[in-house]
Structure 1
Amino acid sequence: MAKTRVRKGMPSVAITKAEFTRRARERFVDPAFDGLQDEIGRIINAAWDGYHDYRKSPRTHKAGDGFADPSFELSVDWRRAHEAIRRAQRAHRSSASPSRILLVNGSSRSDQTCPGEMSKTFRLVELARRQIERARGFAVEVLDLSLLASQYGRQILPCKACVSTAMPLCHWPCSCYPNHALGQVNDWMADIYPMWVAAHGVMIVTPVNWYQAPSGLKAMMDRLVCADGGNPDPTTTRGKDPAMAKAIELKGWDYPRHLAGRIFSVVVHGDAAGTETLRRILADWLTDMGLIGAGHAALLDRTIGYYRPYATSHDDLDADHAFQAEVRNAARALVQAVRLMRSGKLAQPDARLAEIRPK
């Protein structure tokens, strides 16, 4: 077996207590907090203690049965996310459950915050939702990523790229968060993972931003890396031990595809350029994770108001009846493909083939 080592040498990221206090107090600049400065000071001192001692997961309990190391102290937060995924997987596999479609709004724009106007993506999502809800035996869950920019406490924290150290270091679900020592909490992905797991079909509707996915959608994509090859047992790496993870990968890692077999549809819209590029990126990403496209009609990229003013773009969508019909067709194609899949009439032709270059 090849031998390797863990490379070190980047500069320290530690900050002083004074800088920690300055950053923490930035959350309390509202005059409403003026009479609470003593209490805030005590809270900051307690938070500094957790940072200084690096108490990433201050609440843990023994992993117990079902894990490689039953005595390892697992984070209570991770265990909660793990159990949510297990429940979602049982619902996904149950033949008695309705067919579930996860409908993703990839736009950051909302009339509930600075833009002051709803997004065209939201309108297209609503067209798709109403179309899917007409199908008997189907349930729709909408994941509205615009909440990242408009709702208090909603955030998707960045991927730390554990995969690039070794695949088994990337846990399923992600164990990088919450990190209480660094104040990295309220990570929405703990709720988003079960949405994907429970779904039989996923439809992503998104604008193109500078030839790429909007920042919220891209953040979710990055954090879904653990769904494709992620390690479901953090005790095998004793949390985040990179040397142990490297040794496991070099012995031979099976790269479990936790979302494989689900059906997908993608709708991308823009006003000038980049729609085809993003549609291909999203379709390639989903295909690489083992999801199955719902056919040609389910993969759509279009412009709305080509090179026309942004101010009238909703009017342009109103007039584009063909695009609206195509979005409904994309939803219909997804519904039909999910029906075929759940009835055993739609199979993944390469499902039983061994991957020559697993990654």
Structure 2
Amino acid sequence: MLVLTQGDPASIAPEITAAVWQALRQNGPAFVYVGDPSLLERRVPVQTIRYLSDGADVFGHALPVLPLHLATPPAPGEPDRRNAASVLESIRLATELTLSGEASAMITNPISKEVVQGSGFRHPGHTSYLAELCQTPGDEVMLLAGPSLKVVPITVHVALRDAIAQLSTELIIRTARTVAAGLQRDFDLPHPRLAFAGLNPHAGEHGLMGHEEQEIILPAINTLRNEGLHVSGPLPPDTMFTPHARAQYDVALCMYHDQGLIPLKTLDMAEGVNVTLGLPIIRTSPDHGTAFDIAGQNKADPRSLAAAIKLAATLAANRRKNA
């Protein structure tokens, strides 16, 4: 059984959750929602359950809910810090259920970092919070997967000048090892092909446009190649995402956030999935945010959440097979 978190109650999370249940209720994969049932009761049939295992029998005719309670009724598009505790409790409980093995994987609905940070949340987002809950801080890696492309940003939610300062040979090696292991175990790719983007235009042009490729990236690639990994690069970032280039690798490791997420979202925005590697559990998420500007208007596209749920089920099956 899969578990889906509540997300921010004022966001598009309730409406995409209801839409995805409608789409999956006949053929699955089945999931249990961890959150306040009042967010969904006017949209779809809802049945509260006491035990996660009860969800499978319920899913075909109602959305099974492990109930939590909001501090105040939400207004769509108007985030309220009073509900931050419920948002965080949903994530904590879903993580606990997945760590215990009761759930095979967890999917997280979008949250507002500003809302939860106002309640003492000290993380830049879901990923590092999940790593803390799993007691594996520093091992987490964000992978974005779509039908056309998989990318990993080696530096993530930091300013560009800070990303360049953070970049190191050691960080690249550590990230690549986690990515390779995750692709083997969860994506069932026995010999994953990793392609590394250069940092500078034309991948530095042999030092004419920067030295990071020669001084930081290439030493990491050489180390990984000596360990037996299939690696290539550093590749010019402006040409490595063409259809021909994408066919030569399984995942692109990019030096900073937008270098990888711009092509991913251009190609696969509607079906992109955020996957956290390096955790003892499987976690996926839709590759979009809260969309407060359209919340409650039935304009939200549920395809990314549906893709996240389906991919979570696939990854869980692969992990069992490769255990």
Q: TM-score, normalised by structure 2?
A: 0.33
Larger Rg: 1
More strand by share: 2
Q: Which has the higher contact order (CA 8 A, sep 6+)?
A: 2
